[in-house]
Amino acid sequence: MIFSSKAEYGVRLMVELGRQNPEQPTSLKVIADVEGLPLAYLEQVVARLRKADLVMSARGAHGGYWLAREPSEITMYDVVAALEGPIAPMECFVHDQMERIVCSHMPQQRGAGPCATKLLWTRVQGGIIRSLQTTTLAELVEFSRRGEAELEAEPGRADTGAPSLVLHGVLAPTAR
- pLDDT tens-digit map of 76-110: 999 999 999 888 877 666 655 444 555 655 555 55
**pTM of the full predicted structure?**
0.75
Considering the domain boundaries, does residue 157 fall inside one? no
pLDDT of 156 strictly over 80: no
Considering the domain boundaries, does residue 170 fall inside one? no
pLDDT band at 163 (very low <50, low <70, confident <90, very high): very low
Considering the domain boundaries, does residue 89 fall inside one? yes
Task: Show the domain range for 86.
Answer: 5-150
Q: What average pLDDT does the segment 115-126 reach?
A: 85
What integer pLDDT is reported at residue 29 of this predicted model?
94
What integer pLDDT is reported at residue 166 of this predicted model?
41
Count: domains in the chain = 1
Return d(Cα 156, Cα 72) in angstroms, integer.
Answer: 35
pLDDT band at 168 (very low <50, low <70, confident <90, very high): very low
